[in-house]
Amino acid sequence: MRNFTRLAHKTQKLLSEYHHWLPFFNDCLLCHYSTSSQQLICQTCLQDLDNFPLGYDLLFDNPKASADISHENIDGITLVATYQRPFSTALPQLKFHQSIQHAKWLGQLLSEQLEHLAWRNIDCICPVPLHRERLASRGFNQAELLCRFLSVTQPIKHLLIRRKSTQAQTRLTRRDRLNNLKNAFYCPHDLTGKSIVLIDDVITTGTTVNEAAKELKRQGATAVFVAAVAIRLKT
């Protein structure tokens, strides 16, 4: 009997750890209720999402919000949604817990946006890098994790090196962010005539992606676009 209990316990534990990989079992990533569908999100949660329309480009579709962020070196910015629930819950799961399921879902949403944009002749996709010290302490780069789940035909290329170990940006003023990130990126590649899409998880002031785009353009890129999951809009 004891063996049976132990076996039942083990089976239950295995199922709880791996059931996301089984086609007939699925818990919704957002509400955690079981769903019979093979989607990562249940129908009820899908209907509640308040995403930007497909093909959304902040620079064209929201000039007022664009004016609040740094984008001098950027030719287009697509986003899935504003940084609010459920994205304010899902993104930390990606960033701090390396949740593959969340990366898969958010990567799918980003891919849908990219599919519907008129950004022509994209040569490659590039994740915004972390500094090697941050990468060593976190163990992974959330932007790279997102890239892994993009359904795109272009290659993913690591074109940038982050050479400054910048402190966390969230609490800094805009001017401090600018100083903090000035020349933070270095690109050792010749990018003459290339069009590149930068991938990041969240945009707050645009300083990070704008500095990364500046470096890509210094190396000859003709167009740099940005695709991020969410934006923190000023209220």
| Interface ranges with Zn ion (CB under 5 A) | 28, 30-31, 42, 45
- Report the residue number, 86 or 92, with the smaller CB distance to Zn ion: 86
Closest distance of CB 19 from Zn ion, Å: 15
CB of 84 vs Zn ion, minimal distance in Å:
16
- DSSP state at residue 34: B
SS3 label, residue 5: helix
What CA–CA distances, in Å, run from 135 to 109, 165, 179, 212?
A: 25, 10, 22, 17
Q: Which of 31, 178 has the CB closer to Zn ion?
A: 31
Shortest Å, Cβ 37 to Zn ion: 10
d(CA 193, CA 94): 33
Q: How far is the CB of 107 from Zn ion (least distance, A)?
A: 19
Query: Quick one: tokens of 101?
Result: 């399921």
For Zn ion, the closer CB: 28 or 231: 28
User: Residue 226 — φ and ψ, nearest 5°?
Assistant: -125, 135
DSSP 156: B
**Contact (CB, 8 A) for 77 and 52:** no
Which CB, 28 or 103, lies closer to Zn ion? 28
Query: Using CA atoms, how far apart are residues 106 and 148, in angstroms rounded to an integer?
Result: 11
Find residue 78's DSSP bridge partners: 227
Q: Which amino acid is at 40?
A: L
Residue nearer to Zn ion on the CB measure, 58 or 90? 90
Query: Closest CB to Zn ion among 30 and 79?
Result: 30
Cβ 128 to Zn ion, closest distance in Å? 30
149: left (phi over 0), alpha (psi -120 to 50) or beta: alpha
Torsion sign (Cα): 142, 55, 178, 186: positive
Q: How far is the CB of 42 from Zn ion (least distance, A)?
A: 3
